């Protein structure tokens, strides 16, 4: 087992990890415009990991409390649910709710390659394993990730990337 930035021969190092001082407690994840977006329960925000720049940003930190689920709607808006009435969160006026977010608020779509067909990226997710199929340069690719937890650290591990063949 490796932690954080550790490396070991024959083992894949995490692409991203929360570190010892921060806990994300990710609950859901989607792929959109070359970024992975995941919600934070303890982390109380919407996290964006840019797969090209390899950078992590947090949006709406503690603005809505614990964020549980995220989905991409047919209108290309994100729909994010809060989870503050579960006995763990701090209940706020109007909780719990679904928040409609325009991803253009924090993604420069001009800088990203946009699929011409207008179809959404299909997503399959169960528990902490995520598999995405995406279209780039006239080919479909798969991208597989898994969240792993050890103590209070979260890791985003690349499981597989490759050309999708049917």
How does pLDDT run across 75-85, given as a tens digit for each residue? Answer: 888 888 888 88
Residue 2 has what pLDDT?
65
* pLDDT band of 46, cuts 50, 70, 90: very high
Residue 149 has what pLDDT?
47
Top-confidence residue, 109 or 106:
106
For the residues 85-92, what does the mean pLDDT come to?
A: 83
CB-count exposure of residue 1 (10 Å: 0-12, 13-18, 19+): exposed
Contacts of residue 160, defined as CB under 8 A and 6 or more positions apart, other chains included, come to 142, 143, 144
Q: How far apart are CA 119 and CA 74, in angstroms?
A: 9
């Amino acid at each position: 087992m490796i932690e954080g930035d550790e490396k070991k021969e024959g083992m894949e190092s995490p692409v991203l990890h929360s570190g010892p001082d921060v806990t994300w407690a990710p609950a859901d994840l989607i792929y959109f415009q070359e970024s992975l977006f995941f919600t934070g329960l303890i982390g109380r925000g919407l996290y964006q990991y840019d797969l090209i720049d390899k950078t992590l940003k947090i949006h709406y930190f503690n603005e809505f409390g614990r964020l549980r689920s995220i989905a991409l709607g047919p209108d290309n808006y994100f729909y994010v649910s809060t989870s503050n009435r579960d006995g763990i969160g701090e209940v706020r006026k109007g909780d719990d709710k679904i928040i409609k977010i325009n991803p253009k608020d924090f993604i420069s779509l001009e800088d990203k390659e946009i699929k011409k067909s207008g179809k959404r990226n299909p997503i399959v997710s169960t528990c902490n394993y995520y598999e995405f199929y995406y279209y780039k340069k006239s080919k479909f690719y798969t991208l597989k990730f898994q969240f792993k937890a050890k103590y209070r650290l979260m890791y985003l591990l690349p499981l597989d990337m490759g050309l999708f063949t049917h």
